[in-house]
Structure 1
């Protein structure tokens, strides 16, 4: 059984982000906010890979490619949030999340749920932005050919 490309590429996004964050923690850079921003490159890679696969299959319709890339990035976001929740509970639960919030954009004492929901909204917003940027890039390339 062949898995859908959106699931495969969404999983690649998740694996890349997970490996990157675990490597940052191992190397002692887990609290660096700026290094956390690098995860966007994994999202760009997975989404771009989906578009390339669609084009290779002859699917050049803007709307169907946009839906496919959005699904890819959302799968990556959802898997990453689930992974973060599991990892947070393994590291001490709400106490671990509170240590994360000191170096991130949150104030106060967020729970794992609040932290995860906030990151989910951020992830959805970044998914929309990445999808639109890559769709505009590919739309210009496909219409120029």
Structure 2
């Protein structure tokens, strides 16, 4: 059984982000908030891979490709958030979240779910931005009406 390319590339995004953050944790760089911004590179990679695959297959409908790209990005983001929830609970839950929230801009003491829901919204926004920016890049390769 062959997985849909959106799911496959979403899993690639998740694996890339997970390995990146584990590497940051091992190297004791997880408190450097600006390094967390580089996870968008993995989203760009996975979405671009989906769009490239669509183009090779001859799928040039702009709306269909936009939906495919957005599904890829959202799959990666949702899997990453689920992985983060599991990781936080494995490290101690709310007590571990306090160490994470010190390096981000959270006021007070967020719970695990508050922390992850806010990251989910941030991830959805980044997925939309990545999709739109890559669709603008790929638009020149599609035949115009």
TM-score (norm 2): 0.97
Cα shift at 1:141:
3.1
* Superposition pairs of residues 91-130 of structure 1, within 5 angstroms: 91-130=91-130
Q: How many residues align?
A: 144
Partner of 1:90: 90
Q: Report whether the alignment pairs 1:6 with 2:14.
A: no
Cα shift at 1:75:
0.4
Partner of 2:131: 131
Distance in 2 (CA, whole Å) between partners of 1:99 and 1:143 is 51
Q: CA RMSD in A?
A: 1.0
Classify the secondary structure of the residue corresponding to 1:142: coil
1:34-89 C-alpha deviation (Å, 9 max, x unpaired) = 11101000000000000000001100111000000000000000000000000000
Cα shift at 1:105:
2.2
Distance in 1 (CA, whole Å) between partners of 2:109 and 2:82 is 20
Distance in 2 (CA, whole Å) between partners of 1:29 and 1:143 is 45
Distance in 2 (CA, whole Å) between partners of 1:28 and 1:2 is 38
Cα shift at 1:142:
2.8
Partner of 1:44: 44
Partner of 2:81: 81
Distance in 1 (CA, whole Å) between partners of 2:136 and 2:33 is 29
* Superposition pairs of residues 55-74 of structure 1, within 5 angstroms: 55-74=55-74
Cα shift at 1:99:
1.0
Gaps of 5+ in 2: none
Gaps of 5+ in 1: none
Cα shift at 1:143:
4.2
**After TM superposition, where is structure 1 displaced by more than 6 Å over at least 4 residues in a row?**
none
